[in-house]
Amino acid sequence: AGDTAEPGELSRRLAFLAEADQLKSVYRANTLIDGSRRENSAEHSWHLALYALILGGMAGAGVNPARVIRMLLIHDLVEIDVGDVPLHSAAGQAHGSAAIQKAEAIAARRIFGLLPDAQARDLLALWSEFEAASTPDAIFAKALDRCQPAIQNLQSGGAGWREYRVTFDDIATRVGTKVHLGAPDLWRWLEVGLRSHFG
Amino acid sequence: AGDTAEPGELSRRLAFLAEADQLKSVYRANTLIDGSRRENSAEHSWHLALYALILGGMAGAGVNPARVIRMLLIHDLVEIDVGDVPLHSAAGQAHGSAAIQKAEAIAARRIFGLLPDAQARDLLALWSEFEAASTPDAIFAKALDRCQPAIQNLQSGGAGWREYRVTFDDIATRVGTKVHLGAPDLWRWLEVGLRSHFG
Ligand SMILES: [Ca+2]
C-alpha cells in the first residue's frame, strides 16, 4: 500500500494504461464465435485470463494461476507496435520468426518502459518468461493462448482457418504440441472436435 | 491440480467460456480513447484487470490485488443477458435500480450456473461481493470500475458524456464518491483533469 506517494509514478502508470487502450484496435485472424467480426487482442487477452481463472485447477503442479492471469493480461501488449502475426499465416513461418521476435522485444521495452522503473522491469521479465515458454506458468499460459483461438475457430465453423487453408496436421503441429504440453486434458477434448471438423 | 478428472466438468467449463464470448458484443456508452468506436464490455474488463495489476500497490491495507483481478474479470458477465446500463443514463436513475439489480442477479445465476457446482458457487459469491461493494477488495474494484470510463471519456474529449449532458457535479457524485473511497490518490488526479475539462 502507498507505493505511489510520488506523483510522477501515478502519472507514468496512467500513461501506460492509456497506451494499452490501443490493443483494442489490433485485430486477429479468428472471429467471435458468432462469426460477426474478427476478435481484437484486448478482448482475446480478457478471454484468456478468464480461461486461466476457470481452468487453473487443471494445470500441472507448480503452476500459480494468479501469476498466469497476470502473464496473459500483458502478453499481447507488444502488438500495439507490431500487430498480430497470425499463427497460420505464411504457412506458419511468420509467427515466431527471428524478425518478429526482435520487433516484439523492442516494443516490450518501449511499452513497459512507460511504467516506473521497478514495475517496468517486473513486467518485462514476466513478458519474457511467457515468450520463452519454459517455466510451468508460461507453459500453461502458452497452452491456453494456443487453444482459445482454435476453440473460437472450431465453434464458429472454421472461418479463421479457411483463409489460410489450414489442415488438421497444421493445427496438430502449431497448436497441439503446446496445448498437449501445458494442458493435456484440453488437447484430448479439442482433438475430438478437430477430427470431427476436418474429418 | 487434476480436479477435472471427470470429463463432464471440463465440458461445463468450456461451455461457460464459450458463453462468455458474447460479452465482446455488449457495447458501452464510452468510446476508445481515439474516439473510433464504442468500447465493449469484454475489452473494458481486460482494461480494468490491467488497472488492478498496475495500480494494485496503491490500494489500501487488506486489499488482495490478485482477488480484485478475478473479481474484475467476471464483474460484467451478467451484461450478456441484461446489457450495459450506462451510469449517466436516465439522469443516473437506471444504473443500480432495483429492477436492474434483480435482472442481473437472475443472469448471474444462469451464467455462473453453467460451471461445475462448486466453481459456480465460488464465482457467484465473488460477483455478489463486487456488487455489494463493502469489502476492501470490492471497494477498490468499484473505484477502478468507476474511474476507467471517466478516464476514457476525459482522454477522448468527453464524447460519452455529451450524449447524456453530464456535468462535473454528476461525475463527482456518481464517480467521485466511489473512486475517493477506494483509491483517493486516483480521485485527486482525476479531479484535476475533470475541472480542466468542464471548467
Ligand atoms: Ca498473440
HSE-up of residue A147 (Cα within 13 Å, Cβ side): 31
3-class DSSP assignment, residue A27: strand
Statement: residue A160 has pLDDT above 90: no
DSSP letter for A84, please: -
**Residues of chain A positioned with their CB less than 8 A from the CB of B2:** 58
Got the DSSP string for B162-185?
HTTT--HHHHIIIIIHHHHHH-HH
- Residues B38-56 have a mean pLDDT of 98
Residues, chain B: 199
H helices of A56-166, in order, are 65-74, 79-82, 98-112, 117-132, 136-155, 159-162
Q: What is the largest CA-CA distance in chain A?
A: 61
What is d(CA B55, CA B62) in angstroms, rounded to the nearest whole number?
Answer: 15
Statement: residue B94 has pLDDT above 90: no
- Residues B2-30 have a mean pLDDT of 87
Q: In whole numbers, what is the pLDDT of chain A averaged over residues?
A: 94
10 Å Cβ neighbour count for A36? 10
Burial (0-12, 13-18, 19+ Cβ within 10 Å), B144: buried
Statement: residue A98 has pLDDT above 80: yes
Distance B68 CA to ligand 1 centre (A): 25
Query: Are B18 and A155 an interchain contact pair (Cβ–Cβ within 8 Å)?
Result: yes
Q: According to the 3-state scheme, what is the secondary structure of B8-42?
A: HHHHHHHHHHHHHHHHHHCEEEEECCCCCCEEEHH
Q: How confident is the model at residue B63 (pLDDT cuts 50, 70, 90)?
A: very high
Query: Are B13 and A54 an interchain contact pair (Cβ–Cβ within 8 Å)?
Result: yes
Least confident of A92-106, A120-134, B117-131: A92-106
Query: Are B17 and A151 an interchain contact pair (Cβ–Cβ within 8 Å)?
Result: yes
Statement: residue B159 has pLDDT above 90: no
Which ipTM did the prediction report? Answer: 0.95
Size of interface A-B (CB pairs under 8 A): 143
- Residues A168-180 have a mean pLDDT of 95
* Residue pair B1/A60 in contact by the 8 Å Cβ criterion: yes
What is d(CA B69, CA A71) in angstroms, rounded to the nearest whole number?
Answer: 12
Please report, rounded to a whole number, the percentage of residues in chain B having pLDDT higher than 70.
96
For the segment A6-47, what is each residue's pLDDT rounded down to a tens digit?
559 999 999 999 999 999 999 999 999 999 999 999 999 999
Query: Are B69 and A74 an interchain contact pair (Cβ–Cβ within 8 Å)?
Result: no
Nearest residue in A to B147, CA atom: A14
Distance B31 CA to ligand 1 centre (A): 24
Determine the Cα angle at B73 with ends B49 and A117, to 5°.
Answer: 15
Query: Are B4 and A73 an interchain contact pair (Cβ–Cβ within 8 Å)?
Result: no
Q: Please give, rounded to a whole number of angstroms, the shortest distance from the CA of B3 to a CA of chain A.
A: 6
10 Å Cβ neighbour count for A181? 16
**Residues of chain A positioned with their CB less than 8 A from the CB of B145:** none
* Residue pair A109/A53 in contact by the 8 Å Cβ criterion: no
Q: How confident is the model at residue A2 (pLDDT cuts 50, 70, 90)?
A: very low
**Residues of chain B positioned with their CB less than 8 A from the CB of A22:** 33-34
For the segment B165-174, what is each residue's pLDDT rounded down to a tens digit?
999 999 999 9
Centroid of chain to Cα B122: 18
**Residues of chain B positioned with their CB less than 8 A from the CB of A34:** 21-22, 25
Of A47, A57, A186, the CB nearest to B20: A47
The domains found in chain B, sorted by start residue, are 7-198 (1.10.3210.10)
Query: Are A17 and B151 an interchain contact pair (Cβ–Cβ within 8 Å)?
Result: yes
Centroid of chain to Cα B144: 8
Of B1, B53, B61, the CB nearest to A1: B61
* Residue pair B194/B154 in contact by the 8 Å Cβ criterion: yes
Query: Are A47 and B73 an interchain contact pair (Cβ–Cβ within 8 Å)?
Result: no
Encode A99-117: b = buried (16+ Cβ within 10 Å), e = exposed: eeeebbeebbeebbebbbe
| pLDDT of amino acid B2 | 43
Contact residues for A168 (Cβ-Cβ < 8 A; gap 6+) = A194, A195, A198
What is d(CA A178, CA A180) in angstroms, rounded to the nearest whole number?
Answer: 5
Query: Are A69 and B73 an interchain contact pair (Cβ–Cβ within 8 Å)?
Result: yes
Question: Measured in Å, how far apart are chain B's first and last C-alpha atoms?
Answer: 56
For the segment B118-146, what is each residue's pLDDT rounded down to a tens digit?
999 999 999 999 999 999 999 999 999 99
Distance A76 CA to ligand 1 centre (A): 6
Owner of C-alpha cell 506458468? A137
